[in-house]
Amino acid sequence: GHPHVAYNGPTLQIEQVTASSVAEAFGTPTYVYSRTAIEEAAQRYSQAAAASPVHVALRYAVKANSTLAVLQLLARLGWGFDIVSGGELKRVLAAGGDAAKVVFSGVGKTAEEMRLALDVGVECFNVESPSELAALDRVAQAAGKVARVALRVNPDVDAGTHPYISTGLKTNKFGISQDQATRLALQTAQMGHVKLVGIASHIGSQITTVEPYLDALDKVLDLVEDIERRGAKIEHIDLGGGLGIRYTDETPPTPQQWLQPLLARMVSRGFGHRTVMIEPGRSIVGNAGVLLTRTLFLKSTPAKHFAVVDAGMNDLIRPALYAAEQMVVPAERREGNALKYDLVGPVCESADWLARDRALVLEEGDLLAVLSSGAYGMVMASNYNSRGRPAEVMVEGASTTLIRPRETVEQLYASERLLP
């Protein structure tokens, strides 16, 4: 599950670079990404798309990892981007991305963000409410433009069958109900500055089976049929992202295994000539990244063995926020007796843990790697406890590039003002 992150004897490497050498050169905590792993993950999607009779538009979900060098790699591979803010749009443009391949998602776009997106010419706004559609029409009118729009529907995929789905349920804040979507779709014909071009759905994240996507697709296609019977025309169907990765023992479908049945369903239902858009994030970058952290102190209480490490919940919040499990491995394997450690950070919160009850042979000063940290790692880092965010390093073969230096404390308060 972690290509290009492997042991060479007792020594952990990212491609041909040892984890220890990265830590020595750039300090810890540091995110390290394998360029080859990112590119291979992206190419698995491109190849699945190329093998299909249906046209597939690839849009990387920037929220998973928005570091410029990562976006640059995907832009060079010809990918477009799925964004959820003006900030992400500016990152895409700064990294060399093509605005004409940008889809703008999210429930809360401001007028300023809509204006920016219209000015640079994004390909589509995924609209999530009647109010947002009205606001977009107004902003587009003021800008003298016509906004291309997809309605994001909430397919209300059955949580009983698929309990891991969290955003495609009717109780979630995301999307428009199917009834409302039909009405809204027909209303767009009366609006001067929006043009309906697509129907979008995104049912959740870290999904490891195809069935809920097929359920959602069927509902989306029912809706498209309904809308088109009433005279509108839908150019593309956006299936969202959400394909899972292996953190511990999951066995998610490959992009090919995921896309093939969905595209076959498109063809069998007579929609083979429409464009399918997809927005994968985690499955592109997740397993390509590790977070390197140094063991500061080993501390045993009557109840527990703790390894206090120099990365905290501010650097990687997934364990604290979702009780997410990510594997933790040593940079150098040691002989000896393993103890079960809780890996905790320096932040003053009991939720500040990275892993629990992990059998490790550890000494103070040992370097550890938290695997599968490439997605929703650095992007969710904060400055709590006035901690600068980690450095980021891209590895390719035997070469390393610092793609973001460690944030300094001085940078944190540089724009603050003391009272007169």
- Which residues are known to be catalytic? 348
Q: Using CA atoms, how far apart are residues 13 and 4, in angstroms rounded to an integer?
A: 8
Near ligand LLP by CB under 6 A, which window of 42-50, 239-247, 258-266, 297-305?
Answer: 239-247
Q: Which of 34, 52, 85, 105 binds ligand LLP (CB under 6 A)?
A: 105
Using rule CB under 6 A, residue 240 touches ligand LLP: yes
389 in a known ligand binding site:
no
Of 11-19, 87-95, 241-249, 293-301, which segment contacts ligand LLP by CB under 6 A? Answer: 241-249
Which residues, including other chains, have CB under 8 Å from residue 63's CB and lie 6 or more apart?
82, 84, 88, 281, 376, 379
* 149: its two tokens: 């729009």
- Residue 64 or residue 292: which is nearer to ligand LLP going by CB? 64
* Nearer residue to ligand LLP within complex by CB, 341 or 376: 376
Binder to ligand LLP among 165, 341, 376, 387 (CB under 6 A)? 376
Say if residues 61 and 70 touch (Cβ distance below 8 Å): no
Query: Buried b vs exposed e over 69-97: b needs ≥16 C-beta within 10 Å?
Result: bbbbbbbeeebbbbbbbbebbebbbebeb
> Residue 277 carries which side chain, given as an amino acid letter?
M
Is residue 242 at the binding interface for ligand LLP, with CB under 6 A as the rule?
yes
Instruction: Report how many helices (DSSP H) and strands (DSSP E) the chain contains, helices first.
Output: 12, 20
Considering the complex, state which of residue 188 and residue 206 has its C-beta at the smaller distance from ligand LLP: 206
205 contributes a contact to ligand LLP by CB under 6 A? yes
**Contact, 240 vs 259, CB < 8 A?**
no
Site for ligand LLP in 250-309 (CB under 6 A): 279-283
Nearer to ligand LLP, 139 or 150 (CB): 150
Residue with tokens 């040892």: 18
If one asks whether residue 202 binds ligand LLP (CB under 6 A), the answer comes out as yes
Residue 273: CB atoms within 10 A of its CB come to 10
Assess 109 for contact with ligand LLP (CB under 6 A).
no
- The answer to whether residues 14 and 21 touch, using CB atoms and an 8 Å cutoff, is no
Beta bridge partners of 7: 12
For 212, residues 6+ apart whose C-beta sits below 8 A from its C-beta are: 157, 161, 162, 165, 168, 203, 204
The angle, 0 to 180 degrees and rounded to 10, between the axes of the packed helices 130-143 and 178-188 is: 20
280 is in an annotated binding site: yes
Q: Please enumerate in sequence order all residues whose Cβ is within 8 A of that of 83, keeping only pairs 6 or more positions apart, or say none.
A: 62, 89, 92, 102, 103, 104, 105, 106, 122
φ, ψ of residue 99 in degrees (nearest 5): -60, -30
123 is a contact residue toward ligand LLP (CB under 6 A): no
| Comparison of 244 and 330: residue with beta carbon closer to ligand LLP | 244
- Near ligand LLP in 304-323, by CB under 6 A: 318
Consult the annotation and say whether 281 binds a ligand.
yes
Closer by beta carbon to ligand LLP, 13 or else 85: 85
Residue 318 annotated as binding site: yes
Using alpha carbons, select from 61, 80, 49, 81 the residue that is nearest to residue 262. 49
282 in a labelled binding site: yes
Confirm or reject binding of residue 198 to ligand LLP (CB under 6 A).
no
Q: CB of 122: closest distance to ligand LLP in angstroms?
A: 15
Comparing CB distances to ligand LLP, the nearer of 64 and 117 is: 64
Annotated binding residue 168: no
Is 341 annotated to bind a ligand? Reply is: no
* Among 56-64, 89-97, 110-118, 326-334, the segment contacting ligand LLP (CB under 6 A): 56-64
Place of tokens 């498109």: 266
Binding residues: 242, 279-282, 318, 322, 349, 376
**Binding site as annotated, residues for pyridoxal 5'-phosphate:** 242, 279-282, 376
- List contacts with ligand LLP (CB under 6 A): 61, 63-64, 82, 105, 202, 205-206, 240-243, 279-283, 318, 376
Annotated binding site for substrate: 282, 318, 322, 349, 376
